[in-house]
Amino acid sequence: MTQLMKKKIFLFFLLLLFNAFCFAQKNHFAILRKQMVESQIKARGIKDIGILKVMQKVERHKFVPPPLEEYAYEDRPLPIGYGQTISQPYIVALMTQLLSPKPKDKVLEIGTGSGYQAAILAELVEKVYTIEIIPELAEVAKEKLKILGYENIFVKCGNGYLGWPEMAPFDGIIVTCSPKDVPQSLIEQLKEGGQIVIPVGKGLPQKLLVLYKKEGKIIKKYITDVLFVPMKH
C-alpha cells in the first residue's frame, strides 16, 4: 500500500469520526431542547402548540457564544457580550405567546441581541423587523440569521426608541430591553387591534406589560415581574 493510499484512508476515517461527532452533538442538543420545552415552558403554562414546536425547533445553542453552548438550554439568561444577554427560554416563549403572532403578521422587535427571539418570531409570522443599537451585535445577528436561512428577518442598527417608521404600521411589537416608559413612537407605529409586549421600569424588577390598541386607545395589562437590561438610546 502506497503512502498516498494510507493518507487517503486515514483522512476518510477522520472524516467518519468527525461526522459521527457532529451527529452525536446534534442529537445531544435536540434532547436538551426537548427537555427544555417540557420542563421549563410547557410545564409553566405555555399552551400554544405552534410556539412549543418552534421552541423545540430553533437551535438556541447557535445564538450563544461557543463556550456557553452547553448551557444554552438551561433555565436562565446567558451573556452574549457588550453587557447584553439572551433571555431565559421561558420568558422568550411567554412574550411570544403574549404577542399572539399570526402567519401574515408583520412584527417589530426592539433589541435584536443574539437574534434568537427574532428567529422564533420568523417561524411564526410573515416578516420580522428588528432593531439593535449596538453595531457589533447587529452585524453578528444579521450574519447569523442569514447563514441560518431566515429571509424574512430584516435587521437594522439604530435607536429602538424611534421604532421603524418607514415599515410601520406593525401587527405586533415586542421589546426585549426595558425603557423607563413606553416610547410613544412605538404606540404610534402599532396597528389598530395590535399589541405591544414590553418590560417597563427603571429599577429592578421591571413590569412585563401587554398594551392593546383598541379604537385608538391603549389598554395596559400587567403580566409579571421580569429582569431585562435597560433600553439604550
Looking at the annotation, which residues are catalytic? 87
Query: In 148-189, which residue ranges form alpha helices assigned H by DSSP?
Result: 184-188
Q: Which helix (H) or strand (E) holds 28?
A: helix 3-36
Q: Within 10 A of 21 (CB to CB), how many other CB atoms are there? A: 10
**Beta strand extents in the chain (DSSP E only):** 78-81, 84-86, 106-110, 127-132, 153-157, 170-175, 190-200, 206-214, 217-226
Answer for the pair 135, 156: CB distance below 8 angstroms, yes or no.
Answer: no
Residue 26: other Cβ atoms inside 10 A: 12
**Cα Rg of the chain, angstroms:** 20
Question: Left, alpha or beta for 64 (phi > 0: left; psi -120 to 50: alpha)?
Answer: beta
21: enclosing H helix or E strand: helix 3-36
β-pair type (190-200, 170-175): parallel
Instruction: Work out whether strand 206-214 and strand 217-226 pair parallel, antiparallel, or are unpaired.
Output: antiparallel
CA–CA separation, 209 and 226 (whole Å):
10
